[in-house]
Amino acid sequence: MRFRHFRPALFLSAALAVAGIGVPASEFIQPVSLLKAPDFDDPGPAATPGDDNLVYRLVQRFVPEGDRGRPPPCDIATPGPDTANFPNSPLTLPKGRSYIECDPGTFSLAGANGTPATWSWPFLIRTGVTDACELRLFSQGPTVVGPTASTPAFDGFAPLAFDVKIHVWGEADQLWIPIIGVEAFVLTGIASRPFNVGTEPGIVLLVEHRMPGDWLLEWNVGCFGTGGNGIPDILSLPDMGVQWALQKQLTERVAVFYQGFYNAAGIPYFPSDLVSGLGAQWTVTQRLAVYASYNWSLDRDGSPSGGSSGFAYAY
């Protein structure tokens, strides 16, 4: 029988099945519309109360992976905030989970060589689009640059940067084996005029070493674009930069760290080329962490010292 002769019988059988005629109750099939798209306000798969938000639902809809079971809980300690210290972790957020990190207490002091004092409010917004990739938006935020002998003070909004971080290899529970990640970003011209340095790319290798005794060593090395002559400090032209931090977990909630960087291209708020400092992080709740550090120049070039303090919230 050719299919065009079979179609009327097929449609008749389907209609009888839908109507329940001649079909046992145990075999009755409820028809489902294949054209109905889920609403964004529908709960995600097997939602955990308090952990199923709009961002989580959007990521699950746009990047489907089948049934992932219950969504992972919001946890500020896994993988942890990136802005607490200088280097970024190679670990990424679970799919659908997000952090917002803000450092309103960020400043550097005026230098004897004419480097101005600065204050800024950096922020970082990050969301996991898969378990091994996260999208990020960051900026130095509102910034005030103090006066010098030759220039008046000015202020504005520092450039926005669009960023992606990928977890390449390694797990947090493996001792000695390094964890590797890659971060790439584009600094845009979305900024106030005094801070607009055009479009500048950057790429960074992220490495983390888990050691016995709750010790953690993180280091990053990358190439940072820093713009042209309009930038209001002594940052170099696109060049290599390195950041590092050695951290000790004192208790389940409190950690201290020694950190530093070479070449301020990666740490734009602190205009000096060789810096080290001390800091601490306190995990207040499962969703909230606060942190602070104070840092000083080792080469006596640029700003002599400065600090940063802020918080990170998981949702």
Please report the domains of the chain, with CATH numbers, ordered by start residue.
1-36 (no CATH), 38-71 (no CATH), 75-314 (2.40.160.40)
Number of C-beta neighbours around residue 156 at 10 A:
15
d(CA 164, CA 134): 6
Contact (CB, 8 A) for 160 and 190? yes
Q: What is the pLDDT of residue 50?
A: 55
Residues 127-154 as b or e (16 or more Cβ within 10 Å = b): bbbbbbbbbbebbbbbbebbebeeeeeb
SS3 per-residue string spanning 136-195? EEEECCEEEECCCCCCCCEEEECCEEEEEEEEEECCCCCCCCCEEEEEEEEECCCCCHHH
For residue 83 the two structure tokens come to: 């802005």
The pLDDT value recorded for residue 4 is 44
Q: Residue 311 pairs with which residues in a beta bridge?
A: 102, 290
pLDDT beneath 70, residues of the chain: 1-50, 226-238, 264-266
CB 260 within 8 Å of CB 283? no
The predicted pLDDT at position 269 comes to 77
- What is the rounded CA–CA span in Å between residue 197 and residue 27? 68
pLDDT at site 5 = 44
d(CA 259, CA 246): 6
